[in-house]
Structure 1
């Protein structure tokens, strides 16, 4: 059966069973083992990070992305540093307009975060829940699909290097040193990064460092400290790279994070 577009939702008799929400606080190393749902899932991290494995790919995500996982899609989530995650489970009949049959990552939106937080706090009336659900579908339909997440290599040797760098992004060893430690050629490891992530090792490391910096900024670290903690010796170079990646300076990013989100009860 084709999913009903948002404009035709009135033709569906929406019930509470067609739309549920959960909010979980997970410790470091927690995971949701490989599984699937009968419903579509929209997931957002209030804080922390997740490694999402889906369709043979593994993505490292933070709160600046939303995860869309269609019904029936096998996936796994690992939370290396712990996280707080909100998930919406929605009957496929209530999908937004368009092709939503494949997993994707979407650029996060403050309104989406506010609505998801609101749905988990207190007990919204059935009418309020339905309004929030419909507004979420409307907003999701307008969000940009993003492909600049931190993808993790499929090759186990390259993935081991990636995992080490996510744990310690300030590690400045070049690919030759990593290859020597693993007993493989530099070319082999370089190809594994390109084939598995679409990026060279150096580009991947920059990306991983900048995402790690968002965690330090969210925890209140000054820009200079965040830069040094992820391996930048030049703060100006860090600011320039951060602006290219996120479209704002680290200071503006931190200021936006510190602004209370409507409905939030705690700092992310």
Structure 2
């Protein structure tokens, strides 16, 4: 798919798209507002893509890998790689497209990966998705973004979804209802398999035990609720925590800051 054809793809993929697009000399940035339940069916691009959710979340499928991402991560999808995206909730998808000749570095970028995106990276993507910028400012912003992407760590913390269809069904259900406290045996029984089978699938496909994956999934959902304006005392029980203090402790252990500080940092980056 060429840069000029991208808008047509978006129009076809969304039932009621609201898309802004600006094309530059060697790269393009799009800002797409997506509705909950919409998706981009299996497709590929003729350029490398850096896909970032400014708000909301996305499930990205690349081959056998499936990731559930929010604004603290971005998906790097190389030229020609088949992928699809599903949006369970409304949000804004910001994507940068660049010819593969201008990758952040000569090697290591031919495989899809999830990158930990810091607030500056998100701010640059937002900057590039607004019209009226001078050509010099756009090029300077993209050069800095490219440097940040080149140094961004490949994330091992992202909420990956299991490849096994039964384990994946459980994972999706838990993301939709993180306060469901059923144990592994009960979840496995709901899919008609043994707890050991589901446990093996989670560990093999996500790198985490079922229990650890659920903690991370709960905090992942919590981030979206906090960024949507929900107070900490309401978020804690909605993602399965019996007390606010235990939720804050778990959040700090995962993100290094309290929920309030995390949201404050995110909002500052958007200014």
TM-score calculated relative to the size of structure 1: 0.88
Alpha-carbon distance in 2 for matches of 1:131, 1:54: 31
Task: Tell which has more relative contact order, 1 or 2 (C-alpha 8 A, sep 6+).
Answer: 1
Q: Per-residue CA shift, 1:141-187, capped at 9, x if unaligned?
A: 12222111101111111111111111110000011111222221111
Work out whether 1:172 is the aligned partner of 2:186: no
- Runs of 4 or more consecutive aligned structure 1 residues displaced over 6 Å after TM superposition: none
2:39 is the counterpart of 1:35: no
**How far 1:78 sits from its partner (Å)?**
0.6
Contact 1:57 1:154 in 2 (8 A): yes
SS in 1 for 2:153: coil
| Structure 1 spans left out of the alignment, 5+ residues | 1-14, 263-268
Instruction: Say yes or no: does 1:145 pair with 2:164.
Output: no
Q: Call closer, same or farther: CA 1:115–1:258 in 2, change over 3 Å.
A: closer
Query: In the aligned structure 2, how far is the partner of 1:176 from the partner of 1:131?
Result: 54
Residue 239 of structure 1 pairs with residue 217 of structure 2? no
2:114 pairs with 1:89: no
Q: Bigger CA drift: 100-109 or 56-65? A: 100-109
Contact persistence 1:153–1:197 (CA under 8 A): yes
Deviation at 1:71, TM superposition (A): 0.8
Unaligned runs of 5+ in 2: 1-22
The answer to whether the Cα contact below 8 Å between 1:152 and 1:159 also exists between their aligned partners in 2 is yes
Q: 1:18 Cα shift? A: 2.2
Which of 52, 70, 73 does residue 81 from structure 2 map onto?
A: 73
Which residue number corresponds to residue 206 of structure 1? 215
Alpha-carbon displacement from aligned partner over 1:111-164 (angstroms, at most 9, x marks no partner):
221221112212222222222221111121122221111011111111111111
Match in the other structure for 1:265: none
State the alpha-carbon separation in 2 of the partners of residues 113 and 122 from structure 1: 16
In 2, the alpha carbon distance for the partners of 1:254 and 1:119 equals 23
Maintained 8 Å contact 2:120/2:269: no
| Match for residue 195 of structure 2 among 161, 172, 186 | 186
CA RMSD, 1 decimal: 1.5
Q: Give the TM-score of the pair, scaled to structure 2.
A: 0.87
